[in-house]
Amino acid sequence: MLFGGDEHFQEVKIEFPFGLPGFEVFTHFKISALHDYEPFCVLQSEEEPAISMLIIEVKFLAIQDKIVIPDKELRKVNIHDEKDALVFLILKVNHKSHELTANTRAPLVINLETKKGFQAILEDATLPLEYSLAKGLN
């Protein structure tokens, strides 16, 4: 179930005040649920629709327990309890294995109340940039 249990979620607009690494000038995005392919979602720039990425909430992946967002990172978007944070990972296609992989080192951290987010870059260098989804979802 997506977004804190909102079954009817279709789309939410999120501001990333610093953009995303590689796309720093774009700050206004929307996250859309792919209902035919739940729990996958799409993050898309409202300013440049070609900037569009597949994302998934971290809770659907077995590696979720290893992805710890430090309090000082959460406070960047005024989150004081990690339960209030919505955490997504950006996915890409590995063209050799034809599998999806998730960037676990750089999660998107979103305060759903203020609709503001940022892409954290975690200090834990053991977190894979290409975590395979081949083992399936939670």
Partner 1 sequence: MLVLTRKSGESIRIGNNIIITVLESPSGQTKIGVKAPLDIPIHREEVYNRIQQENKSALLVHDEMSNMLAKYVRGKS
Go through the chain and tell me how many residues it has: 138
The one among 54, 63, 69, 112 contacting partner 1 by CB under 8 A = 54
Closest to 52 (Cα-Cα) out of 29, 69, 72: 29
User: Using an 8 Å Cβ cutoff, are 14 and 116 in contact?
Assistant: yes
Cα 87 to Cα 67: distance, rounded to the nearest angstrom: 10
Tell whether residue 98 is a contact of partner 1 (CB under 8 A). yes
Q: How far is the CB of 136 from partner 1 (least distance, A)?
A: 5
Number of H helices, E strands in the chain: 1, 9
The one among 50, 65, 81, 126 contacting partner 1 by CB under 8 A = 50
Collect all residues with Cβ–Cβ distance below 8 Å to 90 and sequence separation of at least 6: 43, 53, 54, 55, 102, 103, 106, 108, 119
The one among 6, 10, 11, 52 contacting partner 1 by CB under 8 A = 52
| Total of chain residues touching partner 1, rule CB under 8 A | 39
The one among 2, 12, 14, 19 contacting partner 1 by CB under 8 A = 19
Residue ranges that bind partner 1, judged by CB under 8 A? 17-25, 34, 36-38, 40, 42, 50-54, 72, 75-76, 90-93, 98, 100, 103, 105-106, 118-119, 121, 129, 133, 136-137
